[in-house]
A and B are shown apart, each in its own frame.
Chain A
Amino acid sequence: MPATDLWPDFQAPEAVNSPVFLLKEQAAKLKEKTKGLVLAGLRPASAPDGSFWVGFDLYSPALGEYTYRLFAITYPPEFVPVTLSDADGARKVETLDQFKALLESVLRSPRTKQVIEAIMAQATALGPEESSSYTPGILKD
């Protein structure tokens, strides 16, 4: 007798429109735009209330264990609302479109640009390190 299947059919994860997939896309774009000098690692964890927490960490293979936490987001399994926390504090948005707009403002901010250019300068000065083994995030692009 076949085992009873009480589960519904699931949508493939790649097709799910969620905050973390938007972050993953931006991590890939960062690698492309900095020619691999600056990478972004997504560091997942559970938030105290059981919702998702993801840290967005900048690092460079040339800089060993150095990482810079650009921001972190928390969101429930329903994906919204999303709270983004960075040096400017915490901001909460109610929809994924609002999150996209907020993320764009953070990524395009003068502070983010300055931090990424500083990491690029530091990495260029110290030269590439092919064999760096440090991997700050498990969801690296």
Chain B
Amino acid sequence: MAGFLFWNVRGRRLEPVLRRLTSRHKIDVLMLAECTIPEDSMLDALNANDRESFRRVPALASRGLDLYSRFDQGCFGSVLKEADHYFIRTLTPPGGIEIVLAMAHLASPSYKDLRARHSRFIGFASDIRDVERAAGNDRTVVVGDLNVNPFDDALLDVRGLSALADRNTVLRKDPRRFGRRQVEEFRLFYNPMWSHFGDAVQPAGTYYYDKSNPEVDPLWNIFDQVLLRPSVLDRFRNKNLKILTTDGTVSFIWDDGRPNGDVYSDHLPIWFQLDLRRRTSYASN
């Protein structure tokens, strides 16, 4: 199983926390947004245990997107698409299958309204399709702080990422077709983050914000997401995705469940595993 962790760390120096998280959850690929931790300091922390062998995988995207991995750098293909807010490359773990990994920290609601963010998604989705064609591989995984909620149009629009809440529906309806004479086809993603909304399973989201005070506002948001193409769904089990609130030593949340942005980040990290081994029988959910 390949372990992944994504966290928008809000520019905080959280080396000890990241060391504990990567060890506790056996993380192979550590993806960070708003990361200002110097490479040397990060590697000292991640490799404090002699058995670890994390290295930084360079990327040019801005907004503090940073990628560290236990996998050899050769496991990561060259960056196939890159923009200010995302990069897309292939990843082939040792002894595993190749996936397309799109890592993003998309435009913030602080600077772009929902329509503008929606517009950005059209371009992001187009770049993903271009990479899938170029790589001849549609085992695509999108990870990041997307700065929209799963229910926002940007994620539901077929010209956006078209990410739905139910894997069976995704498998049945992919691709969605529109038009009678000129049929347009749109690929779907499965968005497992839908299942993490609300208080049935704590925490109620990955990001809480109550400062702007509009009349219509969920307050709890899930901006930090993992989206999967149908062709990788048999590699993913829902129980292998969690929003984390502790590293086993410290808590990232206040007593009332909101992220402790004063000390850690106003976002919570997400952990997930994919079974990327080459094999003939696959996991089912």
Binding site for B on A (CB under 8 A): 43, 45-50, 53, 55, 69, 72, 138
A72 touches B250 (CB 8 A): no
Chain A residues whose CB sits within 8 angstroms of the CB of B264 once the complex forms: 48
Chain A residues whose CB sits within 8 angstroms of the CB of B260 once the complex forms: 45
CA distance A72 to B263 in the complex (A): 10
Assess whether B274 is interfacial by the CB under 8 Å rule.
no
A46 touches B249 (CB 8 A): yes
A43, A46, A48 interface centre (most CB from chain B within 10 Å): A48
Assess whether B13 is interfacial by the CB under 8 Å rule.
yes
Assess whether B251 is interfacial by the CB under 8 Å rule.
yes
- List CB contacts (< 8 Å) of B249-285 with chain A: 249-251, 254-255, 260, 262-264
- Apart from the given pairs A45-B254, A48-B14, A49-B16, 4 other A-B contacts in the complex at a CB distance below 8 Å: A45-B251, A46-B263, A48-B16, A138-B255
* 20 pairs, A vs B, C-beta closer than 8 Å: A43-B254, A45-B251, A45-B254, A45-B260, A45-B262, A46-B251, A46-B263, A47-B263, A48-B12, A48-B13, A48-B14, A48-B15, A48-B17, A48-B263, A50-B16, A50-B249, A50-B250, A53-B262, A53-B263, A72-B262
- List CB contacts (< 8 Å) of B117-152 with chain A: none
B262 touches A55 (CB 8 A): yes
**For chain B, what secondary structure do more than half of its interface residues adopt (helix, strand, loop), or is it mixed?**
loop
Binary per-residue interface labels of chain B (73-113) against chain A in the complex, 1 for a CB within 8 Å, 0 otherwise: 00000000000000000000000000000000000000000
Binding site for A on B (CB under 8 A): 12-17, 249-251, 254-255, 260, 262-264
Closest A residue to B256 by CB, please name it.
Answer: A138
Partner of A47, one of B15, B250, B255: B250
Minimum C-beta distance from A77 to chain B (A): 13
Chain A residues whose CB sits within 8 angstroms of the CB of B13 once the complex forms: 48
B251 touches A69 (CB 8 A): no
Chain A residues whose CB sits within 8 angstroms of the CB of B249 once the complex forms: 46, 50
CA distance A48 to B248 in the complex (A): 11
CA distance A138 to B12 in the complex (A): 24
CA distance A95 to B250 in the complex (A): 25
Partner of A45, one of B14, B16, B17, B263: B263
Minimum C-beta distance from B75 to chain A (A): 29
Chain B residues whose CB sits within 8 angstroms of the CB of A46 once the complex forms: 249-251, 263
Q: Which 9 A-B pairs have the closest CB atoms?
A: A46-B250, A48-B17, A49-B16, A48-B16, A45-B263, A50-B249, A53-B263, A48-B14, A45-B260
CA distance A55 to B262 in the complex (A): 8
CA distance A47 to B7 in the complex (A): 17
Chain B residues whose CB sits within 8 angstroms of the CB of A55 once the complex forms: 262
CB contact under 8 A between A69 and B255, given known A48-B16, A50-B249, A50-B250: no
Closest A residue to B12 by CB, please name it.
Answer: A48
Closest B residue to A47 by CB, please name it.
Answer: B263
CA distance A53 to B13 in the complex (A): 15
Closest B residue to A69 by CB, please name it.
Answer: B262
Closest A residue to B251 by CB, please name it.
Answer: A46
CA distance A109 to B81 in the complex (A): 52
CA distance A55 to B14 in the complex (A): 18
Closest B residue to A50 by CB, please name it.
Answer: B249
CA distance A50 to B263 in the complex (A): 11
CA distance A53 to B254 in the complex (A): 12
CA distance A53 to B249 in the complex (A): 14
CA distance A45 to B260 in the complex (A): 8
Chain B residues whose CB sits within 8 angstroms of the CB of A69 once the complex forms: 262
Minimum C-beta distance from B259 to chain A (A): 11
Chain A residues whose CB sits within 8 angstroms of the CB of B263 once the complex forms: 45-48, 53
B13, B14, B16, B250 interface centre (most CB from chain A within 10 Å): B250
Chain A residues whose CB sits within 8 angstroms of the CB of B262 once the complex forms: 43, 45, 53, 55, 69, 72
Chain A residues whose CB sits within 8 angstroms of the CB of B15 once the complex forms: 48
CA distance A97 to B256 in the complex (A): 34
